[in-house]
Amino acid sequence: MSPNTLMDSVERKKGRPFRIGLLFSLLFLAALSFAEEEIPEGQVKVAFIYHFAKFVEWPTEAFRSENSPFGIYILGNDPFGPYWDILNGKTIKGRKILIRRISRLENLEDCHIFFIGATERPYLRALFLQLKKYPVLTVGDGDRFAAWGGMIGFIQVDGRINFEINRDRVTESRLKFSSQLLKVARLVRTRTGG
């Protein structure tokens, strides 16, 4: 089953037990399929990003109106390229998805998930400080992304895609993470030095 098929099925079935089962199925699929090179890494990560939103709650003030889109912004290099097309026509929490590539932090009022590309690595700490005032879920690649202050960082464990969640950032953010999402992640704390 492809991540695209999984996303279609979640739109049809809305029960909480199904959502929890879906998360575990997605994690298993990502680990198994990527390891066997059946599904490209970028496609698996886009599917993860889409499903992260199902297990995070944003405060009401994160949306300008009932019709505001659900924004996924990309800063820096975009390693997913055409795989974002998987999300065309999809919704998150009943809102149409808006994918936007930006070159600097500005006009983040419709941003809910903020992917930070590897080219921005030297600026991560400054970016995280600026982003703290916004109710956005920060996602990026690399084994230290979450430890340096990002909320969710993709990592590879034994050739499989997995992710870390920064407990400190979750606690201090205005976002509410499902305990189910926290259970399947590797939890890290913010590093204060070097």
**Is 129 inside a domain boundary?**
yes
Residue 2 confidence (pLDDT) above 90: no
**Is 67 inside a domain boundary?**
yes
CA 178 to chain centre: 13
**How does pLDDT run across 82-135, given as a tens digit for each residue?**
999 889 889 999 999 999 999 888 888 899 999 999 899 999 989 999 998 899
Total structural domains in the chain? Answer: 1
**How does pLDDT run across 141-155, given as a tens digit for each residue?**
987 899 999 999 999
**Taking the CA atoms of the chain, what radius of gyration do you get in angstroms?**
16
Report residue 1 as tokens: 């089953």
**Is 194 inside a domain boundary?**
no
**Is 47 inside a domain boundary?**
yes
Residue 158 has a CB neighbour count (10 Å cut-off) of 7
pTM of the predicted model, to two decimals? 0.81
Residue 28 domain boundaries: 3-188
Cα–Cα distance list, 87 to 6, 50, 90, 96, 186 (Å): 12, 8, 5, 10, 26
Residue 1 confidence (pLDDT) above 60: no
Q: Taking Cα atoms as reference points, which of 138, 125, 118 lies closest to residue 52? A: 138
**Is 166 inside a domain boundary?**
yes
Residue 38 confidence (pLDDT) above 60: yes
Over residues 77-82, mean pLDDT = 88
Q: Taking Cα atoms as reference points, which of 148, 108, 112, 113 lies closest to residue 128? A: 148
**Is 21 inside a domain boundary?**
yes
- Residue 62 sits in a domain whose CATH number is 3.40.50
Give the pLDDT score at 60: 92
**Is 193 inside a domain boundary?**
no
Over residues 36-62, mean pLDDT = 89
Where does the pLDDT of residue 6 fall: very low under 50, low under 70, confident under 90, or very high at 90 and above? very low
DSSP 8-state secondary structure symbol assigned to residue 121: G
**Is 121 inside a domain boundary?**
yes
